Chains A and B, each alone.
Chain A
Amino acid sequence: MDQNNSLPPYAQGLASPQGAMTPGIPIFSPMMPYGTGLTPQPIQNTNSLSILEEQQRQQQQQQQQQQQQQQQAVVTAAAAVQQSTSQQATQGASGQTPQLFHSQTLTTAPLPGTTPLYPSPMTPMTPITPATPASESSGIVPQLQNIVSTVNLGCKLDLKTIALRARNAEYNPKRFAAVIMRIREPRTTALIFSSGKMVCTGAKSEEQSRLAARKYARVVQKLGFPAKFLDFKIQNMVGSCDVKFPIRLEGLVLTHQQFSSYEPELFPGLIYRMIKPRIVLLIFVSGKVVLTGAKVRAEIYEAFENIYPILKGFRKTT
């Protein structure tokens, strides 16, 4: 079953600076050796946490095995698929090529929280044409500030009961038709709807968001509902960083007017809508940048690496 996007594998190239206007797709699917597809095994019929966790455990094991090998070893020993991605990894000028989000060969790069990914569809890929290597990496890594995710608990819920029997819940049906629940670790907030769907916000990493969502599901379970953990999906990721120099927003809006919107009467920052990857950046005069709209971490890193040379171009004052 083709779980990947409709684009043929070779089209899933790296974000080249050519500015191709493809819709934002997660470019770097987790690379796994061929043969371990993510087609759900019919063995376990309960659509519970277990299937996803099982698949993740498999991925983790394989990724850990790869981690133990040297970069060179991986290049020589791995399949053509892995060869192409690691080649791209070593092509990056510095140790970090945040463009290549996933590959476990990059574990030495100090990207915080680069732990196993979310299960996303993968296909065996033919060698990808390497993109032009970045002239120099910015050396700045955006920090993730907020992750919004959704999960389906798979059963109808009685919000009044939940609000009554849970300590950390608030429910005001006249104001909003969902229970607002909070947990302390990871510090997050969840909106739980009577249909059984839940939104989890406030986590600082994908794994924390997943852990938090599981805790909320457990709370609902303990309140007596047959809660499951279906279709967990990260919907939005927000990151921020600081380029540490002031930016002439008026100049930026002139040269990049098709992407930028700068209205100081409305908002002090410039709103830059990048096409590839499809990320919205808020750029402020102090040099602080907020990136939002990502479904995977790689998009945030890639968007920042794309904007950094543009911002550097506005560094010199008149």
Chain B
Amino acid sequence: MPAKYVEDKDKMLSRTLQLVELANETWLVTGRHPLPIITAAAFLAWQSLQPSHRLTCSLARFCKLANVDLPYPAASRLQELLAVLLQMAEQLAWLQILKLDKRSVVKHIDDLLQHRHLLIRMAFRDGTAEVESQEELQGQQQEQEEVEDNSLDKPKGKRPASPALLLPPCMLKPPKRIHSTSPVSTVTGDENISDSEIEQYLRTPQEVRDFQRAQAASQAAPNPP
């Protein structure tokens, strides 16, 4: 184990906890297996405590060094957590200039965690109220509603786009297929059933004979071992 990889347990613990709380607040935890989230949070916490030496280490290597299994969803949880941190970083002026990506943001996780409550409120609109009003309002009206909803007044000028919705990832992805309402059925249950409709489900005598012959043939021939 390289010397720079060793880490103090208490620092790791507290930072991992903060990251897990952050994930919980931003809808990354509900409905998911808890262990992969903890794995991802621990990895990020560990990386952020000495980013210069640890950025090169991958999640898989981290788990191997720690003698822990790498759960499959951990990679995806890691990406989600990084995305949340990036959105929070957008709210800090001195970080906005740096144009962070998911690798460089690790260096600033310390700051982001310190101000996480404030940054979450700034970075995200309330997804629950927003989802409802989105259908009714459009464009400017929507922006006005946002400002009223949020407790803080956000200067609209500098920020690049309106804040992202705080929703679980499953609601942020586009729906896989259009949820069309099924057509209203006028079936009464007592309709007349035509003979021809039933006969389509019956084999003709010829088919029956063919089928029986085929069955006999397949059973007579010795099956290959």
What is the interface of chain A, defined by CB distance below 8 A to chain B? 53, 56-57, 60, 112-113, 115-116, 143, 164-168, 181, 183, 186, 204-211, 214-215, 218-219, 222-223, 242, 244-250, 264-265, 268-269, 284-287, 315-318
Contacts and interface: CB of A to CB of B under 8 A. Distances in A.
B68 interface: no
Chain B interface helix/strand/loop/mixed: loop
Given A112-B184, A166-B201, A245 B168 contact: no
Contacts of B153: none
A265 B33 contact: yes
B151 to A, nearest CB: 12
B198 A269 contact: no
A116 B186 CA distance: 11
Given A246-B167, A269-B31, A143 B181 contact: yes
Contacts of B191: 211
B101 interface: no
Given A167-B203, A204-B182, A222-B202, A115 B188 contact: yes
A208 B198 contact: no
B187 A285 contact: no
B201 A315 contact: no
B208 interface: yes
B31 A315 contact: no
Contacts of A112: 181-182, 184-185
Contact of A165 (B31, B127, B168, B202): B202
Contacts of A245: 127-128, 131-132
B212 interface: yes
Contacts of A214: 189, 193
B197 interface: yes
Contact of B127 (A60, A269, A317): A317
A53 B190 contact: yes
Interface string B128-156: 11011000000000000000000000000
Contact-residue size bin, chain B (C-beta under 8 Å from the other chain): 35 or more
Given A167-B201, A264-B31, A210 B170 contact: no
A268 B126 CA distance: 23
Interface string B29-44: 1111110000000000
Contact of A164 (B30, B168, B170, B212): B212
Contacts of A205: 185, 187
B27 A285 contact: yes
A285 B30 contact: yes
Given A210-B189, A315-B129, 6 more contacts: A53-B190, A165-B203, A207-B187, A316-B126, A316-B129, A317-B127
B203 A248 contact: no
A222 B171 contact: no
B212 to A, nearest CB: 7
B33 to A, nearest CB: 6
B199 interface: yes
B81 interface: no
A211 B31 contact: no
Contacts of A269: 31
B166 interface: yes
B207 to A, nearest CB: 8
15 contacts: A115-B188, A143-B181, A164-B208, A165-B202, A165-B208, A205-B185, A208-B189, A210-B189, A211-B191, A214-B189, A223-B202, A246-B171, A247-B30, A264-B32, A286-B170
B34 A248 contact: no
A286 B203 contact: no
A233 to B, nearest CB: 13
